[in-house]
Amino acid sequence: MKQTTKNVGKFAAVALLSAAVAGVTSYSLRPEPQQETTSFAQEFIQGTQVTPTLFGTPPAGAMDLTKAAAASVNAVVHIKSTQLGRTQTVQEPMDLFEYFFGNPYGGGRQRQRQVQTQPRVGFGSGVIISTDGYIVTNNHVIEGADEINVKLNDSREFVGRIIGADPNTDLALVKIEAKDELPTIPVGDSDALKIGEWVLAVGNPFNLTSTVTAGIVSAKARKLNVYGQSGIESFIQTDAAINQGNSGGALVNANGELVGINSVLSSPTGAYAGYGFAIPTSIMTKVITDLKEYGAVQRAVLGIAGRGLDEHFDDEIKEKSEQLGVNEGVWISEVVEGSSASAAGLQADDVITGIDGKNIKTMAELQEELAKHRPGDKVKVKYIRDKKEKSVTVELKNAQGNTKVVKNVDMDILGAAFKELPDELKRQLNIGYGLQVTGVTDGKMKDAGIRKGIILLKANNQPLRKVSDLEEVLKSASQSPEQVLFITAITPSGKRVNFAVDLSQEE
């Protein structure tokens, strides 16, 4: 369970506001059969035997949550993620004899040895959203996992595979294969939630069965800055008890509808202390649909730097608010050249107050609203300039400055094969790690001039000790605005060389 403290200080402005961000994708999804007539989003919202309207609305003072609990517990699962042990190369300390007289075996003065790390196991929860076995959970539940085990509330166990993950919204999509249709939770509208409304937090944290706690919605559109500057945060705050292991579990309204994915625990001790935070379904729906359909989240970027005028504790924001004569909204401190905002004519010191008819008071609300869109979508932005209200239609672009679909990139695009360096070759070249290119066909590496035999040391400044290291850097680079791998390498003769591998793909 992600943790944060209640005292959240000032944090940096978000440089690029985005709809959703491309995440780490472990598996590509095959195209759906041609006869399919509903989208994945429609499928997981409608693909359930539960009819929420049958629950009715309990009379005031007699809130009955039993039907909502019964409708949701069977669709919440326990997830065990295992990261297998790794073989790592460590530097041994140099003894005094070797320091003064050198290494008689050559290869430099510092020796290395191989160390086997212990497996790491983590636990969390997940929510089944389609009868054919798609499960939503948190990215931090499955991040780095080599093996995923999913246990249902009826004690059936399955092997899970990662369809895709999005670190910047902390969401992931996992798939299991079952012979029968699985129980699901219908997806509700988190935008319709009201402060004070009853909700249930359903999780499966202890590998026993699903557990349920109740509370109310304490606040909406909370930003905690727990995912960093590029994170998208607009949390539902609740006082329903959420503990470690509940990550990825369901936040359910009184009608038994999924309205959020439990993600963050606010506590100085690591145990429940009054506040929990959930990712709203308004963000979740878009992210997991993209992961399923494209293998990567389609990120729509507005292209501004700015801050919410709600940060009244900040002297700069307080002064800026008085200067502009606006108390609520997102103040634009900078517009990125060539961005969607720039093309629409937005300027520094404009204050965004609405998107598509919805009032925007905070940065979190702006992020949540943009998170519903893809590159190519057009949104109507309402803003204040010189104390006058204006509006403009903005066509959203991706981080690469266009509206093309960002595809999931795998190792095949490189057109090369690799192997880890044997110890003997590392000693000969006096290097501690590297990947040797064992073959090159048509692909991005051949285009960059990389040939068989070359030893790759770093990619985008990340050391390459294993082939999986290159895979991780490739996934990250393919979703960056630059879409390039900067390779530091060495030839078999020991000459240092550098390459730039262009990862962009033509439509």
Annotated catalytic residues are 140, 170, 247
Burial 229-249 (b: 16+ CB within 10 A, else e): eebbbbbbbbbbbbbbbbbbb
Q: Which of 166, 128, 163, 138 shows the shortest CA–CA distance to 246? A: 138
Question: Angle at Cα 491 formed by Cα 486 and Cα 494, nearest 5°?
Answer: 115
Which burial class, exposed, middle or buried, applies to 203 when counting CB atoms under 10 A from its CB (0-12, 13-18, 19+)? buried
Residue 450's contacts (CB-CB under 8 Å, 6 or more residues apart) are 416, 437, 440, 456, 487, 489, 499, 501
Distance of alpha carbon 447 from the chain centroid: 31
Ramachandran angles phi, psi of 392, nearest 5°: -155, 150
β-strand partners of 114? 89
Q: Of all helices (H) and strands (E), which one includes residue 239?
A: none
Please say whether the beta carbons of 250 and 41 come within 8 A.
Answer: no
- Tokens 């003064």, residue? 100
Q: Which of 506, 480, 373, 466 shows the shortest CA–CA distance to 146? A: 466
Q: Of all helices (H) and strands (E), which one includes residue 472?
A: helix 467-478
Measured from the Cβ of residue 406, the count of other Cβ atoms closer than 10 Å reads 23
Please say whether the beta carbons of 156 and 280 come within 8 A.
Answer: no
Residue 21's contacts (CB-CB under 8 Å, 6 or more residues apart) are 166, 167, 168, 169, 230, 232, 297, 299, 479
Measured from the Cβ of residue 290, the count of other Cβ atoms closer than 10 Å reads 26
Distance of alpha carbon 149 from the chain centroid: 20
